[in-house]
Homo-oligomer: A and B are copies of this chain.
């Protein structure tokens, strides 16, 4: 196997993600490396993130504004996402429980799962109020 032991550059990315409060975008990671005098090309950050993803160490999701945010695989978080304003708040619920239940080999058909995304899209309470306000 080639990519099971990430190189030091990628270890640093993983460390930053684990230290971070929430999810970080590639550009935020790039900035944090810069702040720590560990300048790195943005392309390298993207390359490292892709490898970490394929190694099963990092997961990601795409925000509605187009940017991708990354987090350690072990942090199993999901969100309520507003289709109006794009804000997202934590959703303390995972459809797979802790175990990867329900994912029997029959369904996967040779596919090797690494991580999952589960998000509920709708209207946040603030955007619902605005909507009502326009009517009255």
Contacts and interface: CB of A to CB of B under 8 A. Distances in A.
Interface of A: 1-2, 50, 53-54, 59, 62, 64, 66, 80, 82-84, 89, 91-93, 95-96, 102-103, 107-125, 128, 131, 134-135
Contacts of A125: 109-111
Contact of A114 (B1, B83, B112): B83
A2 B128 CA distance: 12
A108 B80 CA distance: 8
B114 A122 contact: yes
Contact of A115 (B66, B89, B109, B121): B121
Contacts of A116: 118-121
Contacts of A91: 107
B118 A83 contact: no
The 8 closest A-B pairs by CB, nearest first: A95-B95, A110-B125, A62-B62, A113-B122, A114-B122, A112-B123, A80-B111, A118-B118
